[in-house]
Structure 1
Amino acid sequence: MDFINCLKTSKNTFIIAEIGQNHQGNIEIAKKLIKIAKDCGADCVKFQKTDLKEKFNNKALLRPYNSPHSFGKTYGEHKQFLEFSKDDYRELKYFANKVGILVTASAMDVKSLEFLIDLEVPFIKIGSGDANNFILIEKAAKTAIPLVISTGMQNLVTVKQVYQLVSKYHKNFVFLHCVSAYPTPIEDINLNVINLFKSTFPDILIGYSGHELGTHISVAAVALGAKVIERHLTIDKNQKGSDHACSLDPVEFRRLVTNIRNMEAAMGKPIKEFQISEKPCYEKLGKTLVYTKQLKSGHKLENGDINVKVAEPKGIDGAEMAKIIGKKLLIDVLEDESILFNHLE
C-alpha cells in the first residue's frame, strides 16, 4: 500500500519531526536527532535538500550574512555549511532505517528533487518557500511520487492553483496549513484554515505544519482533522540557527506525540451510547421510575402514577417512561416503590 493510502486508512495522525538544518551541519548531531525523534514516537524525520546554484542566484549567494545565526560571511557560505552531501543523505537514510523511522527531505530545487527520488524516500516535501514554484511542483507531480505540500505565505487562490496542477497527474498529495513566521503569533495561526481546506479539497488529506511555541495548538489541529502534523525538533533551543527558537526540544516533542495519541483516543467514534465506564455513576445517580402512590393489581398506569427518582433497587430507566404508560400492573405496588418490568403485563 502506498504512503497516502496508508495515511487514509490509519487511525493515527502521521507525525513528522522536522530536523531541517537544526543539525548544525554535523552528521552526528543529525543522527542523534533521528534517534531522539524515534524515541519520542515520531513517524518520520525530515531534512532539507538544496542544490545552492539551482535554488539561489549569484547575488543571493554573495549577499553578506551578518547575523548571530550565520555559519558564514555570505548567505551562500552559510547555506553551504549547513548542506549535507548526497553521500551524507545515504548514510542518514541507512541510519534511520536501522533505527526504524522513515526519513525524507524537502526538495528545494529540481536537482534536489531528482536526488531524493533516486534516494527512494517515501514522499517528497514541498516547503512553503516553493508553494508558488509551479515548475518544481509540476516536475514533482509528474513523477507520481507522493507529495506533502506546505502552504505558508500563500493565499487560497494560489493553493487552488497548486491543487489543480498536481491533480492533473494524481491525488497522492497532502496540503499542510502553515504560517511561515518563526515563531508564529497565536492570532496569525488561523487553525480554521484546516476546515477551509477540508471543505475546499475534500478528496485529499489535510495536515498542519506548526511554528508556534508549545504543543497545544498542534494537538488542537488534530482535533480539527489534521492527518499529518509537522513540527521542528531541536536538541537545544539556544543553539545558533533561526529555527531553534520555534522548535520543540525532546521533552516537548514527546509530550506532543503523547497528547496527539491521547487526542486520537478521545476523539473516538461518532456514536453516542452508554459507556461501561459510566456504570458506577449510573448505579449511584441514574434515575429510575417509581410509583407516586399505592396502586392495585390490574391498574393501567397513567402519567400521574409515575415519578423519576434515584431509587433502590434500580428499576426501569427514566427515559423509558413513555413506553410503560398504559401498561397493566400484575401486582399491588406501594408509593415510592421502584417500577420493575416484572410488575407489568
Structure 2
Amino acid sequence: MKQTKSIFDQLYIFEMANSHQGSVEHGIDIIHAMSKIARKHNVKGAVKLQYRNLDTFVHPDYKQRKDVNHIPRFMSTRLGFDEFTQLVNAVREEGMVTMSTPFDEDGVEWCMDQGIDIIKIASCSALDWPLLAEAAKTNKPLIISTGGKTLSDIDKIYNFFTHKGCEFAFLHCVAEYPAPAEHLQLDFIDRLKRRYPTVPIGYSGHEDPDDNSVAMMAVAKGAKILERHVGLPTDKITLNAYSMNPEQAEKWVQAAENARLMCTMKKEDDKYISQEEIDSLNSLMRGVYINKAIKKGQEINREDVFFAMPCHEKQMNSGEFYDGMIASKDYAVNEEVHEKKKITEISLVRSVIHDAKGMLYEAGIYLGDSFEVELSHHYGMQHFRQTGAIIISIINREYCKKLLIVLPGQKHPMHAHKVKEETFQLLYGDLDVVLEGREITMKPGDIQTVLRGEKHSFTSTHGAIFEEVSTTHVKSDSYYMDEKISKLDPIERKTILRNW
C-alpha cells in the first residue's frame, strides 16, 4: 500500500456539512473565514463538503416527510452539482485542500468530476460496501471515520482498502452530537496506531467547541489529522452545540499547534459504543428496498433492489446486501427488505482470518510472503471460536517453526505428539497451558517445552500469539484425548489456506 504522508500529516479539516445553510454565498463566507485561520497559523487546512444526490438518496415516499431524522434538513439545505463546484473552486482559490464526504455513488462521481483531493467516508457509511467499492475505484486518498465501529469492523475496513491498494487514514470518532467527555476514549488512538502501524490515525471531534484540551490530548496521542464542524453565525443563523465559529476554530488550531510543539509523537480496553451513537448512525444508513415485485422463493439480486434512507429497525441495510438471497415473502415495489444476513463457512473463515491478522498487526509481527495457514477446527468451523487454533507454518525442514494464534476465549484440546518435541514462546497476549495436569500461566517472553508423549492443551482469555519451535512436523502426529476428535480424518478438522 502506497503512503503519501504529505496529504495527511498535520491536516486540519474544517467540516462545513450543512453549515452552508443551502446558500453558496454563505458557504463561500465560511471558506474565507477558515482560510484566514489556516494562513495565519501556516497550517494545512481542508474544507470538507457533503454530497448526496437527494433525487435518489432519499426514498420517494419520504422526501416530504417532516418526522424522519435528517431528511427535512437535507432537503431544505439542498445544493446541486454546479453549486457545490463553486464551493470547491473557492476552496482551491484559497490554497486549501478540497475534500468531500459522499454518501452515495453519485456523490463519489461528483468528487471525481470536481477533482476533489481527498474523499472522506463517514462513520455511518463505513460498512456500506457498495459505497466503499466505488470509493476504492477512485484511487483518491481516503479518510475513514470509525465512530460506532468495533475493532472487528475496523479490521474488515482495513483489509478491504488494503487489498484494493488504497491510500487511506482512519479517524477515531465518537458519533454523538455533542459527544460527552466520558465517552471520548482518546486511548483508542493508541490502539489504532499499534494495530495499523502503516495507517495515519487522526481524530474527529464533536465535543464542546470551547474545550480545546481534547485536541491537545489527541495530538499528544499521535493524531495526524484533526477534524471539527465549523460554521459562521449571523443574525439569522445560530450554530449547533458541536460546531465552532471562526474565533473558536482559531483557538482550536492554536491549541493543537501548541500541543505539537510540546509533544513528541510516540490498559487496552474494548471500545465502548453507546446506544445513542448506534442510533445516531443507524438514522443515516441506507436501507435495502425492492424496485420490482418479487415473489416468495424468488432470488433477489442487485438489479432487483435500490439503497435509500431511511433504514428501519430489523431492515437489511446496504452493507448487508448480497446477491442471490431467497425471498422469504412476497415483496411489492418500494417495500423494505427483511431477510437474514448470509452466514457461510467462507464468511466464518474470513471473519477469523481478519481477527487473526488484526492481532498480528497490533503485535507488530510480520510474516513475509512464504507461509501456510491452517485452521484447526476440531468440532467444526461453526465452533472454531470456542475450540481450535490458527497455525502458521513458517519453516518445516530438519527443524520447524510455526506461529500459533489463539483467539480470545479459544481453547486447543488436550493432545500429545509421539514424534516431535516442541517449545513455545509467548510473543503477545496471555496463554494458559495445561501440561501433564500442571497449570502454567505464561506471559510474553515466557518459554515452555513440551516433550514427546506429554499431554497438553492451551487456552487464552484475551488472545495470544506464540512461536512454536520443534523438530520436523509430521502429519498425523497429533493424538487427541477426545475420541470424537481422534476418529476424525485430519481433512475433516483442518482448513488449509495458501494465501490470505
Same fold (TM over 0.5): yes
2:206 to 192, 206, 211: 211
The answer to whether structure 1 residue 184 and structure 2 residue 179 are counterparts is: yes
Kindly indicate whether residue 249 of structure 2 is the aligned counterpart of residue 249 of structure 1.
no
- Note closer, same or farther for the CA distance 1:100–1:66 as it changes in structure 2 (3 Å cut): same
Change (3 A) 1:28 1:163: same
State the Cα distance separating 1:44 from its structure 2 match.
0.7
**Shift in Å, 1:60:** 4.0
Say if 2:228 is the partner of 1:226: no
Ranges of 4+ aligned residues in structure 1 off by more than 4 Å: 237-241
Equivalent position SS for 1:195: helix
Structure 2 counterpart of 1:81:
76
Q: Distance in 2 between matches of 1:105 and 1:202?
A: 25
TM-score of the pair, normalised by structure 1: 0.69
Tell whether 2:140 aligns with 1:145.
yes
Q: Deviations over 1:278-300 (max 9, x none)?
A: xxxxxxxxxxxxxxxxxxxxxxx
Task: Indicate the RMSD between aligned Cα atoms, in angstroms.
Answer: 2.4
Aligned to 1:260: 256
Tell which deviates more after alignment, 184-193 or 163-172: 163-172
Instruction: Letter of the 1:63 partner, please give it.
Output: R
Alignment deviations for residues 281-333 of structure 1 (CA, whole Å, 9 cap, x no partner): xxxxxxxxxxxxxxxxxxxxxxxxxxxxxxxxxxxxxxxxxxxxxxxxxxxxx
SS of 1:245's equivalent in the other structure is coil
From the two aligned structures, give the one with the greater helix fraction. 1
The separation in 2 between residues aligned to 1:4 and 1:248, in whole angstroms, is 29
1:32 paired with 2:29, answer yes
Output one character per residue of 1:32-59: Cα deviation in whole Å (capped at 9) or x when no partner: 1001111122611011111124433234
**Residue deviations 1:118-159 (CA, integer Å, cap 9, x gap):** 110111011111011111112211222110111112211111
Match of residue 50, structure 1, among 31, 41, 52 = 52
* Consecutive unaligned residues in structure 2, runs of 5 or more: 39-43, 267-500
Structure-2 separation of matches of 1:60 and 1:197: 38
- Comparing 99-108 with 201-210, greater Cα deviation is found at 99-108
Q: What's the counterpart of residue 5 of structure 2?
A: 5
> Following the alignment from structure 2 to structure 1, what is the Cα–Cα distance between the partners of residues 68 and 264?
51
* Partner Cα separation in structure 2 for residue 60 and residue 189 of structure 1: 34
1:16 aligns to what SS in structure 2? strand
Cα separation, 1, equivalents of 2:234 and 2:189 = 28
* Contact 2:28-2:90 at 8 Å conserved across structures: yes
Residues 275-286 of structure 1 mapped to structure 2, 5 A cutoff: none
Please identify, of 26-35 and 210-219, the stretch whose mean Cα deviation from structure 2 is larger: 210-219
Distance 2:214 2:26 in 1: 28
* Equivalences, count: 258
Quote the Cα distance in structure 1 between the aligned partners of 2:147 and 2:19: 20
Matching residue of 2:460: none
Letter aligned with residue 28 of structure 1? E
Amino acid at match of 2:51: K
Q: How does 1:238-317 map to 2 (within 5 A)?
A: 244-268=240-264
| Secondary structure of residue in 1 paired with 2:244 | coil
Work out whether residues 22 and 244 of structure 1, in 8 Å CA contact, stay in contact via their aligned partners in 2: no
1:63 aligns with one of 65, 84, 94 = 65
Distance 2:3 2:17 in 1: 21
More strand by share: 2
CA separation of 1:238/1:138 partners in 2, compared to 1, >3 Å: closer, same or farther? farther
Q: Structure 1: where are the runs of 5+ without partners?
A: 68-74, 271-345
* Identical counterparts, % of pairs: 28
What is the rounded CA distance, in whole Å, between the counterparts of 1:180 and 1:151 in structure 2? 9
Structure 1 residues 195 and 63: CA distance shift in structure 2, 3 A:
same
Moved more, 129-138 or 175-184: 129-138
User: Is 1:15 the counterpart of 2:12 in the alignment?
Assistant: yes
Contact 2:215–2:255 (CA<8 Å) still a contact in 1? Answer: no
